[in-house]
Every structure is written in structure tokens, then in C-alpha cells.
Amino acid sequence: MNQLEQLKQFTTIVADTGDFQSIKAFAPRDATTNPSLILKAVQKPEYQPLLAQAVKDHGQLSTKEIIDHLLVTFGQEILKIIPGRVSTETDARLSFDTQGTIDKGHALIKLYEAAGIDRDRVLIKIASTWEGIRAAEVLQKAGVHCNLTLLFSLPQAIACAEANVQLISPFVGRIYDWYKKSSGHDYSGADDPGVLSVKQIYSYFRKFGYATEVMGASFRNTAQIVELAGCDLLTISPDLLQALAESDTPVSRKLSPEASLQSDVKKIDLDETSFRTMLNDDAMATEKLAEGIRQFSADAVKLEKMVEALR
């Protein structure tokens, strides 16, 4: 078996792309999108008709509402290919607006359900700010499943788990990027700070009985991926899925619930003050969270300009 086939024995594979035509070859169960991936997709000739059609069909709506329809259209197309769930992201500019995020989550689910898609097949992606986590808590209670993204630290993960969110997406590659830049050292395999972060989160969740799923995300190379074999899910870009499919190097399980029970990780009591203090004390997590929100917000603005140009 190739590495991708081996990995599927231990972990649920998720495609990290807005390019749904590239998904078919790898047979993932789920798929994730974000504003940057959708922006990248609609700049390709094969997807420009989807953008044009969204503007044509919903031109009487606001630009933001047209983009909601566009995101859901991409989600619908992806769900025709995969058997599982698609993640659709809320506007990153709502990252510090709890009620705005709640409203956007309900609006997106309403569009999916109007298109005949069961809400259990959709995850609403929300940034792992304190405000975003509180919004996800409310949405979860209303039966809207959430994927908490831009997650770089254990306190973010714990707050998500205690809010009973469906799934979190710790960002392996962006953690790696920060430590590589700050230290000048190129990490690999089990020493990779991004890999270590996900292992710590996974062990904490399994040791203390949290149901929240852990999905490693934002990978830079296949070594990071295979080092997390056994994680609940891994969301992987098409180019790295291809690299895994082309390699037959053995893959062994690295994470398991049984091993997590032996972990020496300690329970942390978390409230808003301790969450904000611990996040602030982690320069990497603070900087990467802020940077991620800025990047996704900027790409949302670019997407709005593309919509407005067609109106």
C-alpha cells in the first residue's frame, strides 16, 4: 500500500481545498475550505462560471450574502463527491463578534438546508478566539456543528472542548513556520513544534474524555502528516495527498486513545481570564492567530471586489 492508503487505516483523511475537481482522485471522507482556498479556486477558469452564476442568481442581495451563496455552492459541489462533511468558513471579520458569528452560522446552515443538504454534513468554521468559541458553543446547542480553526495552542483547544464543539483544526504548518523563522532551525518529524502541539492536544482530549474531534491541518510536508498517524482526522492539500499516494514508505500509528491515557499531561482549569492570559503568554499562538485573521479577512475583501466587479 502507498502512504495514503496506509494512513487511512489509522486516520480519517480530509481534502483541504476549494478545488473540488481535484478531490476525486484521493477519495477523502471529508473536505475543508476557507476564504483563501475559495478565492484561489474562483480565479481558475473552470470555476469562474460559479462566481458569475452566484452574482446573476442573487444580484438583488448584498455582496456578503452573494458570497454566502457562493460558499454554499462550492460546498454542495464538494458534497457530491465525498461521503462525509464539508467545512464552510464564516467571515473572519466576525472573529471578535459573538452574535455576528452566530447569525452567520445559522445563515449558512439555512442555505445548505434550502439546497437539500442535511446539516449533519456541514461544519461551520470559526476562528478560535474567545468570542468565536462562545459563538460555537451556542451554535452547537442549536444543532449546528462547528470546526474551530486558526488554533495554535492548548488553551484554545481546551476552551473548544469545554464548549463541546464538534471538531478543532490545530495548524501544524503555521506553528512550524513561526518556530523555524524565530529560531533559524529547520525542524522535522517528531521534533516539529507543530506536530508536538497536535500530539499534546490529542493526548489531553483523550486522557480527560473530551468528545471533540482533533483534525491536524496546515501541513508543509508529508513528514508532519505521517508523524500524526492515528489522529482523529488530518486535512491535507491535494499536492501533499499526491505525494503520499506516490510513496510506499511504511507508515506506523503514532497516536492512539490507549497511549494517551498514559500521558503525563495535567488538567487545566480554564476561564476567560486564564484563557486570555495563557494565549497572550504564547507569542507564537498570539501572533499566528492575529495573522490568520488578517489574512482571511483580506481574502474576503478580495472576493467581495470580484463579486462587485460582476454586478
**Residues designated catalytic:** 125
Between vectors from CA 183 to CA 235 and to CA 274, what angle results, nearest 5°? 65
Task: Give 49's DSSP letter.
Answer: H
Distance between CA atoms of residues 180 and 192, nearest Å: 9
Q: What is the CA radius of gyration of the chain?
A: 19
CA distances from 281 to 154, 275, 277, 286 (A): 12, 10, 6, 8
3-state secondary structure 76-109: HHHHCCCCCCEEEECCHHHCCCHHHHHHHHHHHH
Q: What is the DSSP string of 9-39?
A: TTSEEEEE-S-GGGTGGG--SEEE--HHHHH
Number of helices (H), then strands (E), in the chain: 14, 8
Q: Residue 196's Cα: distance from chain center in Å?
A: 18
> For residue 90, how far is the Cα from the chain centroid?
11
Helix (H) or strand (E) segment spanning residue 304: helix 283-310
Q: Nine-digit cell at 182? A: 524565530
Amino acid identity, position 84: G
